[in-house]
Structure 1
Amino acid sequence: MSRPENEAQYLASLVPPSVRGVDRRTVLRGALGIGALLGTGTLAACGGGDTGSGGVPTGPVSGTVTVGSNQSDAVPKAAVQSLMDAFQKANSGTTAKINTVDHNTFQENINNYLQGSPDDVFTWFAGYRMRFFASKDLAGDVSDVWSGITGMSDALKKSSTGDDGKQYFIPATTYPWAVFYRKSVFEQRGYEVPKTLDDLKALGTTMQKDGLDPIAFGDKDGWPGMGTFDQLNLRINGYDYHVSLMAGQESWSSDKVKKVFDTWAGLLPIHQADPLGRTWQEAAQSLQQKKSGMYVLGSFLAQQFEKGSEQDDLDFFTFPEIDSTIGTDAIEAPIDGWMMSKRPKNEAAAKKLLAYIASPPAQDILVKADPSVIATNDGADTASYTALQKKTVEFVKGAKSIAQFMDRDTRPDFASTVMIPAIQQFLKNPKDIDGLVNSIEAQKKSIFGS
Structure 2
Amino acid sequence: MARPAPRDPRFASSLPASVRGVNRRTLLSGALGAGALFGAGSLAGCGSDDAPATGGGGGASAKAGNVKFGVNEAKGSGPAYERMQGMADAYAKKEGVQVSVNAVDHNTFQESITTYLQGSPDDVFTWFAGYRMSQFAEAGQIADLSDVWPIDGMSDAFKQAATAADGKQYFVPISYYPWAVFYRPSVFEKNGWTEPKTMDELNALMTDMQGKKITPFAFAAKDAWAPMGTFDILNMRLNGFDFHMQLTKGEQKWDSPEVKKVFETWKTLLPYHQENSLGRTWQEAATSMAKGECGMYLLGTFVVDGVPTEAQEDLDFFTFPALDASIGADALDAPIDGFCVAEGAQDTEAGKAFIKWLGSAEAADAGNNAGSAPFIAANSGASTAKYGALQKKSVEVVQNAKNIAQFLDRDTNADLANTVVTVALQDFIKNPNDIDKVTTSIQQQAASILG
What's the TM-score bracket when you normalise by the shorter of the two chains?
Answer: 0.7 to 0.9
1:217 corresponds, among 216, 219, 223, to 219
Q: What per-residue deviation string (whole Å, max 9, x for no partner) do you get for residues 145-199 of structure 1?
A: 4434425483x44543323344321111344321011112322333232223333
The answer for the alignment partner of 1:21 in structure 2 is: none
8 A Cα contact 1:217 1:280, kept in partner:
yes
1:87 corresponds, among 83, 87, 91, to 91
Q: What per-residue deviation string (whole Å, max 9, x for no partner) do you get for residues 290-333 of structure 1?
A: 2332111233333453323x322211112222344544343323
CA distance in 2, matches of 1:281, 1:33: 22
Summarize the Cα distance change of 1:380–1:324 in structure 2 as closer, same or farther, 3 Å threshold. Answer: farther
CA distance in 1, matches of 2:63, 2:436: 60
Q: Which has the larger radius of gyration?
A: 1
Per the normalisation by structure 2, the TM-score is: 0.75
2:432 corresponds, among 416, 430, 433, to 430
1:69 is displaced (CA, Å) by 1.2
Q: Which runs of 5+ in 1 are unaligned?
A: 12-31, 37-47, 50-55
The answer for the alignment partner of 1:322 in structure 2 is: 323
8 A Cα contact 2:368 2:386, kept in partner:
no
The answer for the alignment partner of 1:18 in structure 2 is: none
1:202 corresponds, among 190, 204, 215, to 204
Which range moves more in the overlay, 339-348 or 409-418? 339-348
CA distance in 1, matches of 2:429, 2:205: 22
Summarize the Cα distance change of 1:338–1:275 in structure 2 as closer, same or farther, 3 Å threshold. Answer: closer
8 A Cα contact 1:226 1:405, kept in partner:
yes
Summarize the Cα distance change of 1:425–1:66 in structure 2 as closer, same or farther, 3 Å threshold. Answer: same
CA distance in 2, matches of 1:437, 1:301: 30
Summarize the Cα distance change of 1:294–1:62 in structure 2 as closer, same or farther, 3 Å threshold. Answer: closer
1:140 corresponds, among 139, 143, 148, to 143
> Equivalent pairs: percent with the same residue?
47
Alignment-mate amino acid for residue 403 of structure 1:
A
8 A Cα contact 2:209 2:215, kept in partner:
yes
For residues 277-292 of structure 1, the aligned pairs below 5 Å read 278-292=280-294
Q: What per-residue deviation string (whole Å, max 9, x for no partner) do you get for residues 27-75 of structure 1?
A: xxxxx659x9xxxxxxxxxxx99xxxxxx539xx645363441346224
8 A Cα contact 1:175 1:373, kept in partner:
no
The answer for the alignment partner of 1:335 in structure 2 is: 336
CA distance in 1, matches of 2:233, 2:333: 7
Q: Secondary structure at the match of 2:274?
A: coil
The answer for the alignment partner of 1:130 in structure 2 is: 133
The answer for the alignment partner of 2:184 in structure 1 is: 182
Summarize the Cα distance change of 1:150–1:329 in structure 2 as closer, same or farther, 3 Å threshold. Answer: farther
Summarize the Cα distance change of 1:385–1:417 in structure 2 as closer, same or farther, 3 Å threshold. Answer: same
8 A Cα contact 2:46 2:116, kept in partner:
no
Alignment-mate amino acid for residue 356 of structure 1:
W
8 A Cα contact 1:63 1:346, kept in partner:
no
The answer for the alignment partner of 1:385 in structure 2 is: 387
8 A Cα contact 1:162 1:168, kept in partner:
yes
Which range moves more in the overlay, 375-384 or 408-417? 408-417
Summarize the Cα distance change of 1:220–1:133 in structure 2 as closer, same or farther, 3 Å threshold. Answer: closer
Summarize the Cα distance change of 1:158–1:440 in structure 2 as closer, same or farther, 3 Å threshold. Answer: same
Alignment-mate amino acid for residue 229 of structure 2:
G
Q: What per-residue deviation string (whole Å, max 9, x for no partner) do you get for residues 97-127 of structure 1?
A: 5362645665555445545665553322222
Does residue 364 of structure 2 align to residue 360 of structure 1? no
Summarize the Cα distance change of 1:247–1:209 in structure 2 as closer, same or farther, 3 Å threshold. Answer: same
1:131 is displaced (CA, Å) by 1.2
For residues 224-239 of structure 1, the aligned pairs below 5 Å read 224-239=226-241
Q: Which runs of 5+ in 2 are unaligned?
A: 8-44, 49-56
Alignment-mate amino acid for residue 416 of structure 1:
N
Q: What per-residue deviation string (whole Å, max 9, x for no partner) do you get for residues 364-391 of structure 1?
A: 1112223345122243222223333343
2:162 corresponds, among 155, 160, 165, to 160
CA distance in 1, matches of 2:303, 2:93: 36
How large is the Cα RMSD of the aligned pairs?
3.6
8 A Cα contact 1:174 1:373, kept in partner:
no
Summarize the Cα distance change of 1:159–1:433 in structure 2 as closer, same or farther, 3 Å threshold. Answer: farther
Give the count of matched residue pairs.
Answer: 401
1:363 is displaced (CA, Å) by 0.6
